[in-house]
Amino acid sequence: MDEHIKDAIRQAVKEQIVDLEQGLSDLEERSETVDLDQPIGRLSRIDSLTNQGILLSGISKSKARLTALQRTLQDIDDPEFGHCLECGEEINIKRLIALPESKLCISCAQ
């Protein structure tokens, strides 16, 4: 993989990290604890708790992806970067730009 392609992937990773950090901040803000003493109805409280659970799940997934993207930035100069862990073939560049943390080619990922 030439340096020009690595730079394009590196740039995509950095952009995705910025987007994830902004989204994570928003999710954390919206997932504040539901106060049981709030004067809202029982169903509204259940909706609030359900939404909070969904937001917390989103936070967890975002943090995991953020960690994977940060690791990708460190690994991008590794000679094995961009090669499928199962078959050893090069992972399609479009896939690496869209999902830089991919460790498998499309065929092996299915």
**pLDDT tens-digit profile of 48-87?**
778 888 888 889 999 999 999 999 999 999 999 999 999 9
pLDDT of residue 15: 95
Over residues 42-51, the mean pLDDT reads: 72
In a domain, residue 69? The reply is yes
In a domain, residue 68? The reply is yes
Concatenate the DSSP letters of all residues of 46-76 into one string. HHHHHHHHHHHHHHHHHHHHHHHHHHHHHHT
In a domain, residue 100? The reply is no
Indicate whether 34 pLDDT > 60.
Answer: no
Interacting residues of 107 by C-beta distance below 8 A, sequence separation 6+: 87
How many domains is the chain partitioned into structurally? 1
* Residue 92 main-chain phi, psi, to 5 deg: -55, 135
CB 15 within 8 A of CB 82: no
In a domain, residue 18? The reply is yes
In a domain, residue 38? The reply is yes
Domain residues for the domain of 61 are 3-78
Instruction: Report how far residue 94's alpha carbon sits from residue 100's, in angstroms, rounded to the nearest whole number.
Output: 9
In a domain, residue 48? The reply is yes
In a domain, residue 88? The reply is no
In a domain, residue 11? The reply is yes
